[in-house]
Amino acid sequence: MKITPISEGITQLSVNVENILFEGLWDIPKGVSINSYVVKGDKIALVDGVCGWDGVPESLFALLDQLKIDLKSIQYLVLNHLEPDHAGWIEDLRKVHDDFEVICTDKGADLFEAFFGSGVRVRVVKDGDNLDLGAGKMLEFHTIPHVHWPDAMVTFEKYSRVAFTCDAFGSFGKLERSSFDDDYTDEELKAYEHETIRYYSNIVGAFSPFVLKAIDKLAPLHIDIIAPGHGLVWRSRVNKIIEDYRQYALYQKGQARGEITLLWGSMYGMTEMGVRVAIEELEKSGLTYHVHEVPETSWGDILTSVWTSDALILAMPTYEYKMFPPMAAALDEIGKKKAVGRKIFRFGSYGWSGGAQKELDEIHDKLRLNWSFIDPVEFKGKPALEDLEKVRSGVQNLIGLVKDSR
């Protein structure tokens, strides 16, 4: 855990978490930081907490001690979002100090009771409400429902113009050298962006229409610093992270970065023979492409690639009258994130009946994906040379469609 001064009277407490599945589901190869903030006026508010993973409450308390903040002097606990990654250690805080007031939205209050019961004072705030901490610290609250849960809000400190945005504008990736964007070069941030897109597509992406609404709603605030609950604090590139988030939200509809993702699975190598041809064509295309085998690749990696892709190549055999199961699972997850509007080319091998295409159609219809398909290519057993040529022209067609739509 570490302490970083953000602005006069505002301090970040941050912990890096690794070797967990985030939300019990998403792999985070580069870890994630969970950021909490202390705002010190005459009164002290803690904005968001960090989750109660092993050792976290103790280290948080130690940091507060280092800041010479008596736990008992914390009057307000501002909970922008009740998901336990930001609220999980409240139980520990309550053991040492329960004379504080929780500040959250009405939806947050409902969730607070569900997770933590009663016995703590909860003050519900609405859009534009203020909380004066004295000594030039004034918090103002702005709800941003469904970024990521219905309870979400942004807390804005009006004099320093710092916005505490919790999940909004967050990223995966540990905070190592510095918590600030301006301590990294454009090159370094380009590499880091992969972690932002991973976070966005895995955690927030399904709520993209709400992200767009939130961005518009926050526009009049003239934010100088974005201090999120995960990842870098944005100080010199505030507009960049806002505009990046706007773009990520728009990618949901299918017009993304003109990339192509090839997802494939194969039991005995028959479908894989077509995959090799597809990769040859992708390589020639000059487009950015991603190749992921299922089930070897995690959903998190797959979604990160799909999010920035306009088109998908889906290569899988038939299995028990359906699609190769790990592909169906991956597509279901992509569909639940509502990555709609993609251009699709499917091919694969079958033995006697086929069935993969039927399940693809079912998933497509069930999740209302509005994908546009070019004619699939199916072959019985091992692909003949002419089957492989059909795969080649299918991939060429898809590449042509992507290029034409740019």
Ligand X SMILES: Cc1cc2nc3c(=O)[nH]c(=O)nc-3n(C[C@H](O)[C@H](O)[C@H](O)COP(=O)(O)O)c2cc1C
Q: Which residues bind ligand X (CB under 6 A)?
A: 266-272, 317-321, 349-355, 381
Distance of closest approach, residue 122 Cβ to Fe ion, in angstroms: 19
Distance of closest approach, residue 148 Cβ to Fe ion, in angstroms: 4
Secondary structure in 3-state letters for the chain: CEEEEEECCEEEEEEEECCCEECCCEECCCCEEEEEEEEECCCEEEECCCCCCCCHHHHHHHHHHHCCCCHHHEEEEECCCCCHHHHCCHHHHHHHCCCCEEEECHHHHHHHHHHHCCCCEEEECCCCCEEEEECCEEEEEEECCCCCCCCCEEEEECCCCEEEEECCCCCCECCCCCCEHHHCCHHHHHHHHHHHHHHHHHHHHHHHHHHHHHHHHHHHHCCCEEEECCCCEECCCHHHHHHHHHHHHHHCCCCCCCEEEEEECCCCCHHHHHHHHHHHHHHHHCCCEEEEECCCCCHHHHHHHHHCEEEEEEECCEECCEECHHHHHHHHHHHHCCCCCCEEEEEEEECCCCCHHHHHHHHHHHCCCCCEEEEEEEEECCCCHHHHHHHHHHHHHHHHHHHHCC
Work out what residue 148 binds among ligand X, Fe ion, none; the CB cut-off runs from 5 to 8 Å by kind. Fe ion
Work out what residue 351 binds among ligand X, Fe ion, none; the CB cut-off runs from 5 to 8 Å by kind. ligand X
Work out what residue 85 binds among ligand X, Fe ion, none; the CB cut-off runs from 5 to 8 Å by kind. Fe ion
Distance of closest approach, residue 384 Cβ to ligand X, in angstroms: 13
Work out what residue 269 binds among ligand X, Fe ion, none; the CB cut-off runs from 5 to 8 Å by kind. ligand X
Shorter beta-carbon distance to ligand X: residue 12 or 266: 266
Shorter beta-carbon distance to Fe ion: residue 157 or 167: 167
Shorter beta-carbon distance to ligand X: residue 296 or 320: 320
Work out what residue 268 binds among Fe ion, ligand X, none; the CB cut-off runs from 5 to 8 Å by kind. ligand X
Distance of closest approach, residue 295 Cβ to ligand X, in angstroms: 13
Backbone dihedral region of 146: left (phi > 0), alpha (psi from -120 to 50 degrees) or beta?
A: left
Shorter beta-carbon distance to ligand X: residue 29 or 381: 381
Question: Comparing C-alpha atoms, which of 365, 336, 26, 372 is closest to residue 205?
Answer: 336
Distance of closest approach, residue 47 Cβ to Fe ion, in angstroms: 13
Shorter beta-carbon distance to ligand X: residue 199 or 319: 319
One-letter amino acid at 25 equals L
Shorter beta-carbon distance to ligand X: residue 96 or 267: 267
Work out what residue 52 binds among Fe ion, ligand X, none; the CB cut-off runs from 5 to 8 Å by kind. none
Distance of closest approach, residue 264 Cβ to ligand X, in angstroms: 9
Work out what residue 381 binds among ligand X, Fe ion, none; the CB cut-off runs from 5 to 8 Å by kind. ligand X
One-letter amino acid at 174 equals K
Per the DSSP assignment, residues forming a β-bridge with 2 are 14
Shorter beta-carbon distance to Fe ion: residue 150 or 326: 150
Per the DSSP assignment, residues forming a β-bridge with 318 are 323
Distance of closest approach, residue 397 Cβ to ligand X, in angstroms: 22
Shorter beta-carbon distance to Fe ion: residue 90 or 314: 90
Work out what residue 258 binds among ligand X, Fe ion, none; the CB cut-off runs from 5 to 8 Å by kind. none
Where along the sequence are the contacts to Fe ion (CB under 5 A)?
83, 85, 148, 167
Shorter beta-carbon distance to Fe ion: residue 137 or 148: 148
Distance of closest approach, residue 274 Cβ to ligand X, in angstroms: 8
Distance of closest approach, residue 399 Cβ to ligand X, in angstroms: 23
Work out what residue 195 binds among Fe ion, ligand X, none; the CB cut-off runs from 5 to 8 Å by kind. none
